[in-house]
Amino acid sequence: MQYRKLERRLPAMFGLAIALTLALSSPLAAKPPKARKTAKAKAPSAQVVTAAKLMASSKREDVEAGIQSLGLLGTAEATPPLTERIRAGLPPDLLQTAILTLVALGQKEAGPVLLELSSHRRAAVRVQAIEAIASLNPDGAEAALSAALSDSDAKVRAAAANALGTIGAKGALPRLFTALDGGNMEASGAIGKLIDGTEVSRLMAYLGKTPFQVLASALGETLQRPDVDVSVKLQIVARMEEVGTREVKAFLGDLMGVAGDALGQKVSRAILRAMQEIPD
């Protein structure tokens, strides 16, 4: 809803930036965008100076216009004045716009302010900052996202789990498993993205003990990963066949439909066999 509202307010190009952010915050977006040209220490352009002046205004419209003009500028030099303005304090709607603009600008220099905002007192801002961190993957991202797994707000925890999967933070796996134990369903998908062959057994141990719905995304992610050994995948399928519920059968059917050939012949055959074995 908030995104749609913003889209109506912002110019077309800025809407594109939002769309980009939305796409990046999706669990399917595995890689952060390439950073644009980094800012160099030189005098700011006239557009940046104008934008900074607008942002210093006491009028909401001016501030919003200043932020948008920096977004439209799209260059690295737009990031520092924006981060400075965020730190100077903005009403929540303008802060949201500013964060989206930082994501659209795609500069890792935005990292420190985003890390700060990941502990903002407004949960919605934390979620947004986490999604931005996932998108930009700045230095310190893994630590901040791991910390956010312990947030009091479930949406923030979910966003942090997704983000850890997105940035490929393998170091966060132990905490993700702890989060999974605590009922953070999004941790499952992240685990599926990060887990390696040796740790699959740990994930398998959850089968039959944890609701399959919670594990499904981890298993789906693992089965689709090309870097996971086929033998490991076959083990997963075999274990799922043992569980043998209708839920598992439906999941395997959906997976075949979505992933298809990407699963590989052996895994696909095993899945089909399992589906035949599992009664309706």
Footprint of another protein (CB under 8 A): 58-60, 63, 87-92, 94-95, 119-123, 126, 149-152, 157, 175, 178-179, 182
Q: Residue 251: beta bridge partners?
A: none
Pick the closer one to another protein by CB: 12 or 88.
88
Least separation in angstroms between residue 169's CB and another protein is 15
Over the Cα atoms of the chain, what is R_g?
22
149 Rama class: left (phi>0) / alpha (psi -120 to 50) / beta? alpha
Pick the closer one to another protein by CB: 4 or 59.
59
Least separation in angstroms between residue 66's CB and another protein is 13
Least separation in angstroms between residue 227's CB and another protein is 28
Least separation in angstroms between residue 179's CB and another protein is 6
Pick the closer one to another protein by CB: 10 or 148.
148
Which residues, including other chains, have CB under 8 Å from residue 115's CB and lie 6 or more apart? 129, 133, 138, 140, 141, 144
Query: Amino acid identity of 126?
Result: R
Least separation in angstroms between residue 264's CB and another protein is 36
Pick the closer one to another protein by CB: 63 or 204.
63
Q: What angle do CA 104, 78, 93 make, to 5 degrees?
A: 60
DSSP 41-87: SSPPPHHHHHHHHHHTSSSHHHHHHHHHHHHHH-SGGGHHHHHHHHH
Pick the closer one to another protein by CB: 99 or 179.
179
Which residues, including other chains, have CB under 8 Å from residue 152's CB and lie 6 or more apart? none
